[in-house]
Structure 1
């Protein structure tokens, strides 16, 4: 049997594990002076087995029926707001970020305003999200870079987004998929955990997992696939004690049994709302 290898363009890797924001780098493209550059190895993805593709797509269809309202759980009105709240969501809950959002964007509605913000005032507003000093530094640098290099507008290309301070591949895919409708897979901690439990990939490296899982689905499904797995991970398939007995895709899951299989006991573990 002939095996086809798909070569994937090297991109910056952002860890799926939550962390305080830091300046991102990108490889393979020339950028203005002062923009850091770093090359990464090229992942090679083998064409997936047909049975795995069928099972993966079946799981996604069932999750789509289970979560018809699945979407990005961060509130935003435009690409700039989504970029900022995604940076703020590191090591905190979406609920806390959404709580500070109205005050934050009333004071700083665009990149120009945020770039000129007083550090102390910005810190005070975003303090409830945690790591507020590091996040303030990222937001100031991020806004200044948008003004200086992109006329204050959020770029709609991954290779541009990942050059911005505090923005890595995961954040870039969130913005591209939800603000611009450009297909991308968001490999956060929930997505990575479920992709491995479902047998979509064995990779723990986010960029390799992204490419392997992406090979199982049409590009047009990538954004909603991300939402489906993240919603399911926050509500049912928890990192500890997953609610296996209440899982709608249990019959197709190789990891079935890692959590309680008794329906009554499992039902007590299900969350009606997501929690980052």
Structure 2
């Protein structure tokens, strides 16, 4: 995608949603880390449903360790892979207490030391909690980056690095949220809704989906 088209691409997404936010519900950087870790291979809606009662009671690493793995499982058993995720959340809570004085670190290297926290999760936390200009490439962004031609790449890291290089100011802070939401609600995996896409003329995707036939 040409640079002028990249600017226009983001300008239109920004115009449609000037202040995009994560759809995960959280109370502080710790609950954000937990929510993002729980969201792997699960929908934000399913995570929010499971964590509302949890975060009302547990919003610090100390409280999470006191709750314990079995107690946490009772809250999150509706989320996929809940056994492994519960084990990781308790382990990362202990590490935050032991190595970071109970505070969530703001840098990627430290975040990736936490059990269950990979590069994508670290990028989300850095962006949402600390205002870093990071690009958390999930399945939606991977698809949008490749399908549109904005940031084609064979791996999430390749797409992330291309987005980092291609995305100009003033769009860098919110870019990954615009792309996630665009992929989630318009540029869908099976059947993109091209007929209502605000950037359809800038997109490299050739078999544009026509509008649904009216009854």
What is the TM-score when the length of structure 1 is the normalising length?
A: 0.73
| Match in the other structure for 2:82 | 132
**1:63 maps to which residue?**
13
> Are residue 218 (structure 1) and residue 158 (structure 2) matched?
no
In the alignment, which of 174, 177, 184 is matched to residue 227 of structure 1? 177
Contact between 1:59 and 1:249, CA under 8 Å: does it hold in 2? yes
**Corresponding position of 1:96:** 46
How far apart are residue 172 of structure 1 and its match? 0.6
User: Which residue matches 1:53?
Assistant: 3
Q: Runs of 5+ in structure 2 lacking a partner?
A: none
Residue equivalent to 1:158: 108
Deviation of 1:220 (Å)? 5.4
Query: For residues 118-129 of structure 1, what are the structure 2 equivalents within 5 Å?
Result: 118-129=68-79
Q: Which residue of 2 aligns with 1:27?
A: none
CA RMSD of aligned residues (A): 1.9
**Cα distance change on mapping 1:257 and 1:67 into 2, 3 Å:** farther
Structure 1: runs of 5+ lacking an equivalent: 1-50, 268-276
Give every structure 1 segment of 4 or more consecutive aligned residues whose post-TM-superposition deviation is greater than 3 Å. none
2:61–2:97 Cα contact (<8 Å) kept: yes
1:82 aligned partner: 32
User: Where does residue 198 of structure 1 map in the other structure?
Assistant: 148
Please state whether the residue corresponding to 2:190 is helix, strand or coil: coil
Structure ranking higher in helix proportion: 2
User: Counterparts of 2:213 and 2:100 in 1: how far apart (Å)?
Assistant: 49
Contact 2:137 2:176 in 1 (8 A): yes
Is 1:246 matched up with 2:196? Answer: yes
1:147 CA drift (Å): 0.6
Q: How far did residue 103 of structure 1 move?
A: 1.5
Count residues in correspondence. Answer: 215
Q: Rg larger in 1 or in 2?
A: 1
